[in-house]
Structure 1
């Protein structure tokens, strides 16, 4: 048994999501929903290297900083 408040909340959530998908999706365009441009492959490669490289190098840079502290 679902309470009336839970039922209303569930219906409201579905309506908001359905409206969002209807208004923001043009359908079938690759990369449309990404927050960056994928048309220039060199720029995309540079962004990927910076993004992945910063995450992978952070522990090493932090360790180096801690070891060099006096």
Structure 2
């Protein structure tokens, strides 16, 4: 019974990938391009840097307030 269900799941997932229109190409379904490594690196630095730096900027703002 377990063998049949795993075979069925594999077939369903395989059909989904084939029919999804993405072709199974890595990164094709992402909302940003991964072809230019320098642009991707800059976007990662901005994205993660803004989240990491925000508390420090907020703290600086609060300390400089009168």
Q: TM-score range by the shorter chain?
A: 0.5 to 0.7
Runs of 4+ in 1 over 2 A off after TM superposition: 21-25
1:13-24 superposed matches below 5 A = 24=20
Instruction: Measure the CA separation in 1 of the matches of 2:63 and 2:20.
Output: 49
Tell me the TM-score normalised to structure 2 length: 0.66
Number of residue equivalences: 50
Question: How large is the RMSD of aligned CA atoms in angstroms?
Answer: 1.9
Question: Which of 37, 41, 48 is the aligned partner of 1:41?
Answer: 37
Tell me the TM-score normalised to structure 1 length: 0.63
> Could you list the runs of 5+ residues in structure 2 that have no partner in the other structure?
1-16
Q: Which residue of 1 aligns with 2:64?
A: 68
> Could you list the runs of 5+ residues in structure 1 that have no partner in the other structure?
1-20
